Amino acid sequence: MFMGLRKINGVDINEFQKRFNKNIYKVYGKIIDKYLKDKLLILKDNKLYLSPRGIEVSNMIMSDFILTV
């Protein structure tokens, strides 16, 4: 998850489901919602991206995803 967010093309929600056989929202839903609300993540075309502001604080965001697992 956190590696995909560091890429320009983001994390494809459908690819996450195929690769890990898990719904991304069941695993990371609270964190995704928090950062979407804070405008640090962007959801577009079924992909999650870091916003420009999210890139600035990406280490904090990534640590939240890592600590959730």
The pLDDT tens digits of the residues spanning 1-57 come to 545 555 667 899 999 999 999 999 999 999 999 999 999 999 999 999 999 999 899
* pLDDT at 69 exceeding the cut of 90: no
Q: Count the domains in the chain.
A: 1
Higher-confidence residue: 67 or 48?
48
Query: What is the identity of the amino acid at 25?
Result: Y
DSSP secondary structure letters along 19-44: HHSS-HHHHHHHHHHHHHHTTSEEEE
pTM recorded for the entire structure: 0.82
47: helix, strand or coil:
strand
Sheet holding 47-50, edge to edge: 11-12, 47-50, 41-44
Task: Quote the tokens at residue 44.
Answer: 């577009």
Phi, psi for 22 (deg, rounded to 5): -140, 145
Q: Domain range for residue 44?
A: 2-68
Q: What local confidence, expressed as pLDDT, does residue 2 receive? A: 47
